[in-house]
Amino acid sequence: MPALFQRIGHTHSLYSAYFARTWLIIDVKPLQHKTTTAQGSGSYDVISSMSEKTSSPTFWKNRTVLVTGGNGFLGRNVVAAFSSAGATVISPTHKQADLTLPGVALELFKKHKPSHVVHLAARVGGIGYNQVAPAPLYLDNLLMGTHTIEAARIAGVEKTVLLGTVCSYPKFTPVPFREESIWDGYPEETNAPYGIAKKALLVHAQVNAKQYGQKFAFLIPTNLFGPGDKFHPEVSHVIPALIKKCVEAKEQKLEKIDVWGTGSASRDYLYVKDAARAILLASELHESTEPLNLGNNREITIRETAETIARIVGFAGELVWDSSRPDGQPRRRVDASRAERELGWHASTDFEEGLHETVKWFLANRQEALTLPA
């Protein structure tokens, strides 16, 4: 039986709110490439000597790029990256183009005639929404991707860039996650509908490339963060949720805050502008249906994450770990060496530098940050 249908035990938490749903549309910066072993201790840094490839200064001139989900967190940064490179960028909203409906994507592509389509639009939510509405999470993501891929084929789009999810990996994937491991087991239960829908799009891309010669790039980013992230408690993930908690606790002079889990789980955080830069490079330089991981090559525990955010914000109170809440996947770090080889790319934004920028943006844009996406 294919590994896609193998079932392994699962649990998951996004450390965000309990009932959430939003249309996610997913946002470029160059320093040193860091690799850190294991869970916040015994770490070491490796300075990369790889020189990054850059887009041709003329490649995007007179090209039109259509970015689905171009008005969201990552999407705004991706649109900015393509615009800066000289492309004409189209980024319709969900209201303007509901990609779950048959024919909408094809009509959109025939109207704008893009040379490239970057598909970032997705339906996502916090753990509560994943638990209460797994069916639309699966179906809507599958339909949006399916319609986008087929419309791009029919309309003769030069290349389609698809964004996968680190949630597609099996719960017990060996660390660091390598692309060939994506089929080795079942995703965590609460993420499985979303993760499997994204894996199905990878299969769709592979068979279309084989049968029709359709061109693709398929990218799998790890946990994104940065300015413009979502801070509303119904849709926020671990970093924006902790920033909001620490800022409000400091302002209210609280002595402690509660944090989900034990703090022992680890994550690999990728600054949003680094992710956008990779998407820009892959759109020009990469042509394959083999997925590319995008990550920071640094594994950081949730405890270290929370303590670092508290220090940056200036909250001196106690972090109380609520072990009755799930930790989620025990460890997470991706191997991004394939992207380094294929694109000459590596994440270049230092974790603390990215956190400082994110906190600064939140404090300056609190009303926007706390608005629940439509």
Q: Catalytic site residues? A: 194
Q: Is the pLDDT of residue 298 over 60?
A: yes
- Tell me the mean pLDDT in the region 229-236: 84
Neighbour count for residue 262 (Cβ, 10 Å): 15
Question: What is residue 55's predicted lDDT score, i.e. its pLDDT?
Answer: 63
Question: Domain containing 284 — which CATH number?
Answer: 3.40.50.720
Distance CA 36, CA 46 (A): 8
Distance CA 105, CA 48 (A): 41
One-letter amino acid for residue 312 of the chain: I
- Tell me the mean pLDDT in the region 238-249: 96
Q: Which pair of tokens denotes residue 152? A: 């791009």
Answer with the residue of higher pLDDT: 259 or 189. Answer: 259
Summarised one tens digit per residue, pLDDT across range 2-25 is 333 333 333 333 333 333 333 333
Distance CA 283, CA 278 (A): 8
Question: pTM for the whole thing?
Answer: 0.84
Query: What total number of domains does the chain contain?
Result: 1
Answer with the residue of higher pLDDT: 128 or 275. Answer: 275
Average model confidence (pLDDT) across the chain = 86
Residues pairing with 66 in the sheet = 90, 117
Question: What is residue 43's predicted lDDT score, i.e. its pLDDT?
Answer: 33
Question: What is residue 127's predicted lDDT score, i.e. its pLDDT?
Answer: 64
Share of the chain above pLDDT 90, in %: 74
374 lies in some domain: no
Q: Is the pLDDT of residue 124 over 90?
A: no
Q: Is the pLDDT of residue 263 over 70?
A: yes
361 lies in some domain: no
Structural domain that includes position 215? 3-33+45-226+269-300+330-348
366 lies in some domain: no
23 lies in some domain: yes
* Residues 6+ positions from 155 with CB-CB distance below 8 Å: 106, 109, 110, 113
129 lies in some domain: yes
Q: Which pair of tokens denotes residue 44? A: 């070491």
156 lies in some domain: yes
Q: Is the pLDDT of residue 190 over 70?
A: yes
Distance CA 373, CA 23 (A): 8
Distance CA 266, CA 280 (A): 28
* Residues 6+ positions from 311 with CB-CB distance below 8 Å: none
Question: What is residue 128's predicted lDDT score, i.e. its pLDDT?
Answer: 62
Q: Is the pLDDT of residue 358 over 50?
A: yes
- Tell me the mean pLDDT in the region 142-160: 98
Residue with token string 């753990």: 127
Q: Which pair of tokens denotes residue 17? A: 């709110």
- Tell me the mean pLDDT in the region 135-151: 97
- Tell me the mean pLDDT in the region 200-207: 98
Question: What is residue 126's predicted lDDT score, i.e. its pLDDT?
Answer: 64
10 lies in some domain: yes
Question: What is residue 123's predicted lDDT score, i.e. its pLDDT?
Answer: 86
Q: Which pair of tokens denotes residue 213? A: 């010669």
Per-residue pLDDT band for 374 (boundaries 50, 70, 90) equals: low
Question: What is residue 53's predicted lDDT score, i.e. its pLDDT?
Answer: 57
Secondary element (H or E) of residue 73: helix 73-84
Distance CA 74, CA 116 (A): 17
208 lies in some domain: yes
Per-residue pLDDT band for 105 (boundaries 50, 70, 90) equals: very high
Question: What is residue 235's predicted lDDT score, i.e. its pLDDT?
Answer: 76
Residue with token string 């603390």: 352
